[in-house]
Structure 1
Amino acid sequence: MRFYMLCVDNARSNLTPPRRYDDPSTKIWSFYLEQAEKENARMTESWKSDMDAILIFAGLFSASVTAFIIESYRDLMPDNSDTTVILLAHIYHELSNNATLTTIPSVANALDANSFVPSTSSLTCNILWFSSLSLSLTAALSATLVQQWSRDYLQATVDREIPYQRARISTYLYEGLTKFHMKSLVTTIPMLLHASLLLFFAGLVLFLQPVNPGISYLVCGLLLITAILYILISILPIFYFDCPYGSPLTKIWWRILCSLQLIVRENSQGGTSPVPSDCSLAKVREWEATNISYDRDERDFRAVCWTLEYSPDDSTLELFASIIPDVVAGIDYSAKLLCRRLLDRDDPSMRLGFRLTQLLSSCTTDSTWAKRRCVTTLSAIWSLTMMSLPIPNTPYRQPQLSVEPFVTREMLRFDEHTLRFIELIQKHIPDASSYSLSTATVIARSLLDMLSDHILHLETELFSYTRTKTLPERYQKLVLRARHGQNTLRQGHPRMMLDRIDKEAWDMQQMLNVEQRSMISASAYVSLDSLFRHLQDIVVVVLIGDQEEIPSYMEEILNRLNDFQTLLQQAGFLLILEFIEHSLRGPTLSHEPFNTTRRLYLRLNLDSPLQSFSLRSQNRLVCYLEDALDYHNSRPNTVRLPEGMINLLLGLVKGLTDPECVSKAKGIVLAYTKVCVSMSNLEAAREALGILDMALPEDIRPPEALDIFSEHVYSNTKLVRSDSVDTMVSIPPRQGC
C-alpha cells in the first residue's frame, strides 16, 4: 500500500506543470508592467474624476433646463383662455352692436385647433432648450459609459497573475484605446455640456424678448461677453504655453494651427522653429519648463527663494543643506548658478550664507541630532566655499556683467564670524573634527585670497599714480570731501602711521613663527585684516594730503605693501602645512583632503620673489614629506594620502631655500622614486628632484647626469605597474619634528 501511494505521488508530480514564473522573460515584462500600470491608473483616475464632475453638472443643469421648458412648451399649443376671450368678445359684439370690435377673430378659427401657429421666437426658443436638454442628457450618459469602460479596462489589465500575460493584455487593450480614439471621445464629452449651456443662453434671450426687451438685451450682452471669454480661454494656451486656461476647443485649434505650422517656439540656438504637427500641447509645455534657458533659471531661483522664505525652521534648511554638496559636485551648472545667487541675496531670510552660519551656531551640544546637523552644515559650507572662487577675467566674459577683478569683503559669505563658530564646534563635537578642519581651512584660504587681491589692487593704484600723476576716482572723491571738511577718515601723521604699521607687522611675524599657532583660528585673520586697513588708511592719507610729500612716502608705502604680501605668503604656506599635518597624524583623513589641499595650493605662489619662508616652516615641510613618503617606502602597497595629494606635497618643495632642508628633502624624494608604484607620483617626484637640484648652491649642485640611453630603441618604453590602493592607516608622530 505504501508503495502504491509513492507511485501515485510520483505520477502526480510528473503531471504537475512547471512553475509559472520560471520563464526568464518574466523580468522583462515586470519592468514594462511597472510603468504601464502606473500610466493606466493615472489615465483612468483622471477620466473618472472628470466624468464625476460632468455627471454632477449635467444633473443640475438638466433640472434647470427642464424647469424652463415646462414654462415655454405651452407656447407651442393653443391656449383655451384665448378662445374664451374671443367667444366673449363675439357675444359682447352681438349684444351691444359696438362697431369698434370689428377686428375680433372669427369664432371658427378660434375653435379650430389646426389653425394655431406658434410664434417664431417661441418655436426657436423651445428648439434651443430642447436641444440643450438633449445634449446635457447625452453628456451624462456618455460620462456613465466612460466610467464603466474605465473599470472594465483596468479589470482586464490586472486580471491575470502571470506577468507576461498581463503585459500582453495591457498592450493589446491600450492599442485598442488608441485605435478607436478613446481619448478623443473623452475630450468630446465636456464639449457637449458647453454646447448645451450655449444653446440654453441663446434660448433664454429669445424667451425674454416678448416679455421685456431690456432684460433680453442685458442677457444677450452677458452671453456675448461669456462667448468672448470662452474663445479667449480656448486660444490663449496655444500662444502662451504657461497659460492655465483651456477648453475642449483648445486641442482642436492646436491641431489645426500645428498642421498649418503657425505655432512656433524658441529653439536652443536662440531662433524660432515651428512645432511639429504630431506634438501635443502638454509636450511643448514640458519642453518650455525643463529646457535650459534664462527664464527657467529665473523660475528656479524664485521657487527656491520662496521655499527658504516660507520655511524658517532649521529642519527644512538642514534638508536643503544636505543636497548642496551633491549639487556643487554635479554637472548641472544651472543648479550651481542657483546656489551662487542664493549666496548673494541681500534678504537675510533667503541669504544662504547667513542662514547656514546661523544653523551651524545651533550645533553646540554633543547629541545625535547636533552631530548630524553639524556634519551636514559643514559639508554644505565647504562645498559653497569651494564653489565661490573668483571668476577669471577671460575674453569670453560678457562685458555687461562688470564683475570685479578681485574678491571683495562683500563677496565673502563665510568669514571670521563663521570660523569662530567652527572653533566652538571643534570643542563641543569632536566627532566632526574632520569636517570642521576642512571647512575652516578653505574659509581661511578665502580670507587670504581676499586680502591678497586687495593689496595687489592697492599696489596697482599706487603704480598707476606714479606713472600718470592722476588720482584714482575714489581718492578724488575723498579729496573733495576733505576740502569741504566732510572727510571722516581717522587721519594722523604719516610717520606715526608707518611706525604703527611696522609694529603690527612685527607682531604678526612673531605670531606666525609661534610653533603651536593655528592658522584656522579667527584671531589670525582679524589681525591681518587690521593691518591691511591701516595700510589702506595711510595710502588714502598720503594721497589726499600735501601733494609735495607724496613722493617721499611712496617708496616706504610700497615696501610695506611688499612686506604684507610676504606675510600673506607665509600665512598661506603655514595653512597648508597645518592641514597636511592633520591629514598625516590624525586618526582619519579630513573631509575631501585632496580637493581641500588643491584649493590651498591654488593661490600659493611659490615662484614669487616675495616668498621667504622661515626655517621652522621649511623644517616642518621636510618632516611631513618624510612622514608621507617614508611610509610609502616601508609599505609600498598602501598609502596614507590620496595619490593627487602626494603630488601636491611634492610640489611644495619649491618653497625650500635652506641648503640643509633641500638636501634632506632630496634624499627623501630620491628614496621614494625607487619604490614608487604610481606613474603620476613618480613623474612628480622626478620633477621635485629637478627643483631641489636647482635650489642648491652652485658649488654643491650635482652635475647633470648624462643619459646614455636617451636614443635607445626602448627609451620610451615604461613598465606598467598596478596602482596603489588607498587605505586609512594612521602614522605615529615622528619625534623631533
Structure 2
Amino acid sequence: MSMKAEDNEVSADSYQPAKYDDPSAKFWSAYLSKAQKYDKALAQNWKGDMDSILIFAGLFSASVTAFIIESYKNLTPDPNVTSVALLSQISQQLSGISNSSAVLQNNLPCGSQAEFTPSIPALVCNILWFLSLSFSLACALSATLVEQWTRSFLHATDKRAGSQDRARINAYLFQGLEKFGMPTVVEAIPTLLHISLFLFFAGLVFFLLPLNAALGYLVLAVMVICCALYLLITLLPIIYHDCPYRTPISSTWWRILQIFGLLKHEDPDGIVQPLTCSMSEARELEATEITEQRDNRDFKVMSWTIKTIREDSEFEAFVEIIPNIVAGLDYSSKLLLHRLLHHEDIIIKLGYRIPQLLATCNSGVLESRISQKRAITCITAMWSLTMMSMPSDNKPIVYSPRSSLRFTEDTLELLNGVQRDLSSMHDYVASTTAVIGRGLLDMHVNRIVGFQDQLSALVDSAARDAKSDMTYDWKSQELHRQQHIINGLYRQSSLLERYLAAHQKLNTAMPYVMMEAISQHHSRLFSIISSQNPVELDLLQSTVESLDTFKIILNNAGFSLTLDYIADILSSTSLPYEPFNTIRRVFFRIDFTLPVDPANQHRFVAYLDKAFELGLSEPHKLLLNIVDILLDMTRALTDIACLRNTKAIISKYSRLFSRDTAAKALSRIDAILEFEEPSYPPPLDIFTMHLYADTRIDK
C-alpha cells in the first residue's frame, strides 16, 4: 500500500475531533501558532543548508571521479609498457639468433620477473581519493535524508484537524527530534564534506610528487596553510564569541574544552565561573550582559539608526518611546539617551533633532490633528529627557559648562511659539519650560561653584603673597580692560535684577541670555586672575563678591520660577503635565540659606493660601501633594508679616486636615517669630493676622 493510500485510510477511519468537542482547542492554538512558526523557520534553514551541500557535493564528486579515473591506472600494469617490453625482447632474440641455443635459453624471461607492484605514492593517492569520494557521496546521501525527514516532520503535524491533537503531535515529534539529536546530525553533515575536501588535497600531493617534486611540495604548502586557517576559524569563535567564522567541529572543540574546565566567564561583579552552556548561549550571554562594551555597542548602533532616519514620521516614532525609557528601570537605556543627547554629530544629537521635529508643528503644513500629536510627542520627550537623572562625577565644569545642557535657551522660544499656535499645548509647555529653565539655572549655579572652588585656592595664595610685600606693576591698558569687564558685569546684573523684580515670566529666553552674559564676564575675570602673578587682591575680592551676588540672584530666579509654575497650576482649569514631579524638580535646587526677595515672599504666601483652598475641593485632591512642597518652601520666609500670615493660613487649614509637613512648618515659623518678635505682639498685628486668615478662608 502506498503512502498516499495509508494517509487516506487514516483520514477515513481515524477519529477527527471537532472544535466544540474540546474547549481547550483555542488554548492549544496559541502553542501551535508559535510552534509551527518556529518549525517552519527551522526547516527552512535546514533545507537551505542541505540544498547548498547537495550542489557542492555533486560537483565535487564529479571532480574527484575524474581524478580517480586517471589515478587508478597506476594500480595495474600498463598494457602498452608490457607490449613494448615484449617487442624489445623479441628484437633482441632475433638479433642474437646466430648464437647457441644455451645462450638463447638463458635470455628467456622468467615468469616471476614479470609480476607488477604499484608504487607507494600511487597506492596512497588512490586510497585518499576513494575515501574522499566516499565521504562526499555519504554527505550527499545524508543531506537528501535530512530534507526527507524534515518534510515528514512538518507533514505529520498537519494530518489532524483538531488543534489540540496537532499540538500534541508536534510536541511529541519535536521532543523525539531533540532526543535523537537531529540538530547535531544536521550540524555534522558539512563535516563529511570538509573531510572529503581535505582527503582530496592530500591525495593530490601524493599524485603530483612522482611527477614533479616542486609542484607536489607547492600543493603541500597550500594544503598546510588551508589546514592552519581551518583550525584557526574552528577555535576563533571559542575565544571570541562575536567571531562570525566557525566550522562544524567548533562545537565539538567547545564541548571538549568544557569537559576539561578550560572555558571560564567573568560576570560584571568580577566573579569567574566555568561556562556550562552551549556556544550559542554563551554568545547571547556576552551580547546581552550589562558591560561597558555592550553600552558602547548600543551607542554605536543607535547613532547609526538615528543618522539614517531622514523622514520626520520615522523619527517621531522613535521619539515617542523616550518617555517610557526614562520612566523605566534600565539604567543602560538611560545612559544611551544621555549620550545621544550630547552627541557631537548634530544630525544624531537628540538635543537638536527633537526641537527640529517640534518646529515642524509651526510650519502650517501638517494637519491640526497630526500637528498636535507630534507636538505632544516632542514636548513630553523633552520633559522626560530634562527630568532624567544621571550620576555625576561631582566635578564642576568651569570653562565649558554648556556642554551639560540638554536643551538651550532657544528651546524655550520654540515652546512658546508652539503654545501660541496650538493653545491646547499649554499644560505640556508649562511643565517643560519650567524644567528646562531649572536646568539652565543649574548650569549657572554649577559654574559658580566651580569658580568659587578655584578662586578660594587663589585667595589663599594671594594672602601669602601679600605678606611678602610684593609690588604690583599693572599696565594701564590691563586695568582699563578689567574695569570694562567689571562695569559690564554690574550692568548685566542690574538688568537681571530689574527683570526679576518686575515678576516677568522665566519661561522665555531673555533672562537666561542675561545670565549667560554675566557668566561670560565672570569667565573673563577668572582668566585674568589665573594669568596674574601675583594676584591682584582687589580684583580677586571684587570677583568673589560678584559671584556671591550672582548666586543670590540665581537663587531668587529659581524661587520665582517655582512661583510661576505654581501660578500656572492654580490658574489653569486642568493640571499641567506631571505637575508634582515638575514642581519637585524646580524646587529641589533652591538654597534656603540665601535671602529671598520680599516681593517673592508675599507672592508665595498668596499662592499658599489659594493652594490650601483648592486642595480641599474634591477635583483638586492631587494639589495636596503640591501643598506639602509649598509648606517646605516656608523655609525661605524671613519677612515678619509673611511669617504671621503664613502661620495664620496653616493654623486655619490644619484644623480641617492633618499633615506632618504643616506641623513642621508651624514649628519652624514659631521658632523664627519667637526669636524675632517680643513676647507680646502688638494688638493691631494680631488683629491683622486673624483678619487676613478669616477673610481668605470664609469668603
Fold shared by both chains (TM-score > 0.5): yes
C-alpha distance in 1 between matches for 2:604 and 2:260: 74
User: Does the 8 Å contact 2:580/2:626 carry over to 1?
Assistant: yes
Paired residue type of 2:257: L
Question: Counterpart of 2:443?
Answer: 450
Which range moves more in the overlay, 89-98 or 260-269?
89-98
Q: Which residue of 2 aligns with 1:698?
A: 677
Moved more, 257-266 or 335-344: 335-344
**Equivalent in the alignment of 1:197:** 197
Q: TM-score, normalised by structure 2?
A: 0.83
Shift of 1:58: 0.9
**Does structure 2 conserve the Cα–Cα contact (< 8 Å) formed by 1:392 and 1:405?**
no
Q: Distance in 2 between matches of 1:652 and 1:627?
A: 15
- Partner Cα separation in structure 1 for residue 142 and residue 644 of structure 2: 94
Classify 1:130/1:298 alpha carbon distance in 2 versus 1 (closer, same or farther; 3 Å): same
User: Does residue 528 in structure 1 map to residue 515 in structure 2?
Assistant: yes
Higher helix fraction: Structure 1 or Structure 2? 2
Query: Which position in structure 2 is the counterpart of 1:292?
Result: 290
Secondary structure, aligned partner of 2:507:
coil
Q: Deviations over 1:28-79 (max 9, x none)?
A: 5445434433432332222212111111111111111122222223333443
The answer to whether the 8 Å contact 2:54/2:140 transfers is: yes
SS of structure 1 residue aligned to 2:362? coil
**Amino acid in structure 2 at the alignment position of 1:639:** H
2:563–2:604 Cα contact (<8 Å) kept: yes
Q: Which runs of 5+ in 2 are unaligned?
A: 1-14, 99-103, 466-470, 682-695
2:661 is aligned, of 684, 709, 713, to: 684
Q: 2:423 aligns with which of 426, 430, 439?
A: 430
Deviates more, 1:558-567 or 1:332-341: 558-567
* Partner amino acid, structure 2, of 1:622: V
1:526 offset after TM fit, Å? Answer: 0.9
Q: Is 1:666 paired with 2:647?
A: yes
- Shift in alpha-carbon separation, 1:554–1:219, aligned structure 2, 3 A: closer
2:553 equivalent in structure 1: 567
1:632–1:672 Cα contact (<8 Å) kept: no
| Paired position in structure 2 for 1:605 | 591
Distance in 2, matches of 1:106 and 1:382, equals 112
Deviates more, 1:289-298 or 1:558-567: 558-567
Aligned pairs, number: 653
| CA distance 1:238–1:505, shift in 2 (3 Å) | closer
Q: Distance in 2 between matches of 1:323 and 1:575?
A: 29
1:714 maps to what in 2?
none
Q: Which residue of 1 aligns with 2:609?
A: 626
Q: Contact 2:266–2:272 (CA<8 Å) still a contact in 1?
A: yes
Q: Counterpart in 2 of 1:506?
A: 494
| Match for residue 630 of structure 2 among 649, 664, 678 | 649
Q: Distance in 2 between matches of 1:564 and 1:689?
A: 31
Aligned residue type for 1:582: D
Map 1:236-315 → 2, pairs under 5 A: 236-276=236-276, 279-315=277-313
**Paired AA for residue 222 in structure 2:** L
Is the Cα–Cα contact under 8 Å of residues 438 and 593 in structure 1 kept in the other structure? yes
Cα distance in structure 2, aligned partners of 1:314 and 1:195? 55
SS of equivalent residue, structure 2 residue 210: coil
Residues in 1 aligned to 2:226 and 2:131: alpha-carbon distance in whole angstroms: 20
Which residue identity does 1:688 align to in structure 2? Answer: A
User: Corresponding residue for 1:124?
Assistant: 124
* Closer/same/farther in 2, CA of residues 455 and 274 from structure 1, 3 Å limit: closer
8 Å contact 1:135–1:193 — kept in the other structure?
yes
User: What is residue 50 of structure 1 aligned with on the other side?
Assistant: 49
Provide the identity percentage: 39
CA distance in 1, matches of 2:622, 2:232: 68
Aligned partners of 1:488 and 1:409: how far apart in 2?
Answer: 31
Paired with 2:166 and 2:184, the residues of 1 have a C-alpha distance of 25
Deviations 1:235-277 (A, max 9, x none): 222222222111121111111111111111213431422222x
| 1:149 partnered with 2:149 | yes
Alignment CA distance shift 1:62-1:556 (3 Å):
closer
1:149 is displaced (CA, Å) by 0.8
CA distance in 1, matches of 2:352, 2:608: 39
Q: Which amino acid aligns with 1:683?
A: D
2: distance between equivalents of 1:229 and 1:507?
A: 75
- The aligned amino acid for 1:121 is P
1: distance between equivalents of 2:477 and 2:82? 107
Q: Quick one: structure 1 residues 525 and 88, their matched pair in 2 at CA, closer, same or farther if it must change by over 3 Å?
A: same
Q: Does 1:595 align with 2:588?
A: no
Compute the RMSD of aligned alpha carbons: 3.7
Helix, strand or coil: the match of 1:248? coil
Q: How does 1:22-33 map to 2 (within 5 A)?
A: 23=22, 25-26=24-25, 29-33=28-32
CA distance in 2, matches of 1:17, 1:263: 52
8 Å contact kept, 2:396–2:449: no
What CA distance in whole angstroms lies between the structure 1 residues aligned with 2:439 and 2:521? 21
Partner-residue secondary structure (3-state), 1:349? coil
**Residue 82 (structure 1) aligned with residue 65 (structure 2):** no
Which letter does structure 2 place at the counterpart of 1:71? E
Q: Distance in 2 between matches of 1:71 and 1:628?
A: 102
* 1:323 counterpart letter in structure 2: I
Q: 1:229 to 1:563 in 2, by over 3 A?
A: closer
Is 1:411 the counterpart of 2:404? The answer is: yes
CA distance in 2, matches of 1:67, 1:313: 59
**Per-residue deviation at 1:539?**
5.9
1:469 alignment partner, SS class: helix
For 1:493 and 1:240, the matched residues in 2 are separated by: 61
Q: CA deviation at 1:650?
A: 2.5
Matched letter for residue 121 of structure 2: S
The C-alpha deviation readout for 1:109-146, integer Å capped at 9, x for no partner, is: 5998xx44433333332222222222211111111111
- Partners of 1:525 and 1:128 lie apart in 2 by 84
- Distance in structure 2 (CA, Å) of the matches to 1:493 and 1:208: 91
Give the match's secondary structure for 2:565: helix
Inter-partner Cα distance in structure 1 for 2:464 and 2:585? 36
In the alignment, does 2:329 pair up with 1:331? yes
Compared with structure 1, are the counterparts of its residues 71 and 64 closer, same or farther at alpha carbon in structure 2 (3 Å cutoff)?
A: same
What SS does structure 1 have at the residue aligned with 2:265?
Answer: strand
Does 1:584 pair with 2:570? yes
CA distance in 2, matches of 1:546, 1:171: 84
Structure 1 length-normalised TM: 0.79
Which deviates more from structure 2 when the two are superposed, residues 596-605 or residues 229-238?
229-238
Is 1:391 the equivalent of 2:392? yes
Contact kept, 8 Å, 1:471 with 1:543, in 2: the verdict is no
Q: Deviations over 1:355-397 (max 9, x none)?
A: 334333443224344433333232222222222567264xxxx
CA distance in 1 between counterparts of 2:118 and 2:575 reads 99
Structure 1's unaligned 5+ residue stretches are 1-15, 394-401, 473-478, 703-733
User: CA separation in 1, counterparts of 2:60 and 2:17?
Assistant: 59
In 1, the alpha carbon distance for the partners of 2:97 and 2:647 equals: 143
Q: Is the 8 A contact 1:188 1:248 kept in 2?
A: yes
The equivalent position to 1:364 in structure 2, one of 354, 359, 362, is 362
CA distance in 1, matches of 2:627, 2:107: 119
CA deviation after TM superposition for structure 1 residue 350, in Å: 3.3
Q: CA deviation at 1:347?
A: 3.1
Q: Which letter does structure 1 place at the counterpart of 2:598?
A: S
Q: How does 1:708-727 map to 2 (within 5 A)?
A: none
Residues of 2 paired with 1:489 and 1:645: CA distance? 52
What is the CA deviation profile of residues 624-658 of structure 1, one whole-angstrom value per residue up to 9, with x for unaligned ones?
Answer: 3233221233x3x3326454323212322333344
**Alpha-carbon distance in structure 2 between the residues aligned to 1:248 and 1:391:** 48
CA contact (8 A) 2:462 2:534 kept: no
Displacement of 1:464: 4.2
Q: Say if 1:407 and 1:449, in contact at 8 Å, map to a contact too.
A: no
Residue from 326, 346, 349 that aligns with 2:347? 349
1:507 counterpart SS class? helix
8 Å contact from structure 2 (residues 431, 577) kept in 1: yes
Find the counterpart in structure 2 of residue 722 from structure 1.
none
Q: Does 1:550 align with 2:537?
A: yes
State the partner residue of 2:178: 178
- In structure 2, give the amino acid aligned to 1:698: E
